[in-house]
Amino acid sequence: MTEMTQRFTLEELEKFAFDSLVAGGTKPENAAPLAKAITTAERDGITSHGLAYLPTYLEHVACGKVDGQAQPIVTVDNGVVMVDAKSGFAHPAIAAGFERLIEVARNNGVACLAVKNSYNAGTLGYHAETLASAGLLSLCFTNAPASIAPFGGTKAVIGTNPFALGVPDMNGGCALVIDQCSSVVAKSELFRHVQAGTAIPQGWALDANGQPTTDPAEGLKGTMVPSGGYKGFGVGLMVEVFAALMTGATLGLNASPFSGLVGGPPKTGQFFIAINPVLTGGAEIANRLKVIADAIDAQPGTQKPGDRERRARQKSQAEGVAVSGQLLEKIKNLAMPR
């Protein structure tokens, strides 16, 4: 009988994710960066983008929504790096682009990366932290299948479209990550509540008739609520400009869902801007940021972006990660060669 939970070290979890992806039809070079991102999300308590998403990845390789064998094509023109993900996973395409982006940004002061024909980029803050740890200030954008209606409307036009900021500590690490989507919550939160059989708070989603709902299943049939009303929709539209219009990727309006088995590859996009603080006169960026952070921490009850993730990270590194036996069995069954 399967145990209720099994505890993994982070190294064991990454190996399990990697082995499952390879067994499910993803080549090792593509599985490695995705397995690392899954483990990082799990480590930081972002479980919706951790191991819980692995069954979807495996199902999408099997049905052809993503090509686990794809070879990203990287080209560079002056300060612009471009990657065609070839309908493969976003993570290996982004990793391939970062190799050149980091080099160009360090030398030129600023560079950008455009990724097209891509897929779900997972936790965007993960990519922002990668660039920050390389000593670069980063702005990151990714579009998604349409799930947010314009303010006052009922038909989805853009996705939850997150953006992220990564600030380097100038010592090989990351001082700050801001990662937020354009909706009140990520759409994955609705899926999580459907699986748990629990209601969602009022104000997260609208049903198919544009009415507020606390039923996550009805919310999935309708639209997500933009964060801050019309301002949140504006932020999402900005992300769409960078991630889709600037890359040549598929608009959220036309992209197939990141969930389920319907439709072909979504072919969404990502856009990254990397800036070398040393060359812009911002070498003291981490020290100056600390002044702001200290002012926030001095006020009781406050929380900075990333504080929750840092606490989860410390706990995971010390205690490992508990995974339900049911999820493990599902992954193992999906990863079995057909």
Distance of CA 274 to the CA centre of its chain: 17
Show the tokens assigned to 72.
């990203």
CA dihedral 164, 92, 117, 138 (to 10 degrees): 20
Q: Report whether 207 contacts 221 (CB < 8 A).
A: yes
**48 given a catalytic annotation:** yes
Neighbours of 76 (CB within 10 A): 15
Q: Report whether 183 contacts 148 (CB < 8 A).
A: yes
**189 given a catalytic annotation:** yes
Q: Report whether 181 contacts 193 (CB < 8 A).
A: no
Return left, alpha or beta for 270; rule: phi > 0 is left, psi -120 to 50 is alpha, else beta. Answer: beta
The pairing of strands 163-168 and 174-180 is: antiparallel
- Selected catalytic residue, list 20, 48, 87, 138: 48
**91 given a catalytic annotation:** no
- Selected catalytic residue, list 189, 240, 259, 316: 189
Residue with tokens 């410390």: 314
- Selected catalytic residue, list 42, 49, 127, 147: 49
DSSP string, 288-331: HHHHHHHHHHTSTT---TTHHHHHHHHHHHHH-EEEEHHHHHHH
Going by C-alpha positions, the residue among 329, 323, 238, 310 that lies closest to residue 47 is 323
Catalytic residues, by residue number, are: 48-49, 189
